[in-house]
Structure 1
Amino acid sequence: MSNLAKKYHIQEVVQPEQKPKKRIVKKKRRITKGEKYIYILFGIVCFCLSYFIISNQTSIYKVNREIQVMDAKIVEQSKEMEELQGQVDELLEYGRVLKVAKEQGLELQKNNVKAVPKP
């Protein structure tokens, strides 16, 4: 081979095919005015909805607390009513009524005895 052939052969090996490089151009995406308005409107709507949800939950909490307080009062009144009913039953016993009547100077007349229904 001649020198010329060697040079040609060397050039082929040294320079492989190069593909043309594509330049990647990154475009900055700008937010338009319309998109800004939509984002702002979306933010305002989210804020308002969260405000209404929170305010409703607080009012529900207050009402539930009032209900619990009223239930506690009802239980307390029920206990007091039971105690008073026990005292009424104790005061209405026949033996006690007869004793108080004799202390007052009253006498038992069998013809005038009437049964008193319990409340």
Structure 2
Amino acid sequence: MSNLARQFETKQNHTISTNVQNKPLRKNRITSGEKFLYFTTIFGIVFATYLVISTYASIYITNSEIHSLERSINEQITNNEALQLQVTELSAPDRILQIAKDQLGMTLNDKNVKVVQN
């Protein structure tokens, strides 16, 4: 009987092993839900990266415009100060009196001088 038991046992092992071999091996495939999650995650990361980069770019452009405006303001302030100094020099009473005497032939009559106040 031991021979019969061994033959029966080998037949069972043989049928089990053939059943396992006939089944196709199932690969770990990605389901459609997982594909959707992966796609939305990647899209979200790309979109967030785009927002960060565009924000930094707009900040950089704004800062460069601010620096340019500050430079032009400083140049205009310097120009205004130079013009104010020139106005002060040209409106000196001694200079005006000298031009009136030399170029225009005018004379100063102290009796005719009137002081006007603002």
Name the TM-score class by shorter chain. 0.5 to 0.7
Q: Which runs of 5+ in 1 are unaligned?
A: 1-27
In structure 1, C-alpha distance between the alignment counterparts of 2:117 and 2:45, rounded to whole Å: 70
Deviation at 1:112, TM superposition (A): 3.0
2:94 maps to 95
Secondary structure in structure 1 of the residue aligned to 2:60: helix
User: What one-letter code is carried by the residue in structure 1 that aligns with 2:113?
Assistant: N
In structure 2, C-alpha distance between the alignment counterparts of 1:97 and 1:87, rounded to whole Å: 14
1:56 maps to 55
Q: TM-score, length-normalised on structure 2?
A: 0.66
C-alpha change, 1:114 and 1:64, in structure 2 (3 Å) is same
Find out whether 1:78 has 2:77 as its counterpart: yes
In structure 2, C-alpha distance between the alignment counterparts of 1:115 and 1:72, rounded to whole Å: 41
Aligned residues: 90
Deviation at 1:93, TM superposition (A): 1.1
Per-residue CA deviation, residues 33-66 of structure 1 (Å, 9 max, x unaligned), is 2112101111101101210221121012111101
Deviation at 1:115, TM superposition (A): 4.8
Matches within 5 A, 1:1-119: 30-103=29-102, 104-110=104-110, 111-115=112-116
Runs ≥4 in structure 1, deviation > 6 angstroms? none
What RMSD over aligned residues (CA atoms) do the two structures have, in Å? 2.1
C-alpha change, 1:83 and 1:115, in structure 2 (3 Å) is farther
Q: TM-score, length-normalised on structure 1?
A: 0.66
Deviation at 1:96, TM superposition (A): 0.8
Q: Which runs of 5+ in 2 are unaligned?
A: 1-26
> In proportion to residue count, which structure has more helix?
2
C-alpha change, 1:115 and 1:98, in structure 2 (3 Å) is farther
| Identical amino acids, percent of aligned pairs | 38
Deviation at 1:116, TM superposition (A): 7.3
In structure 1, C-alpha distance between the alignment counterparts of 2:97 and 2:114, rounded to whole Å: 12
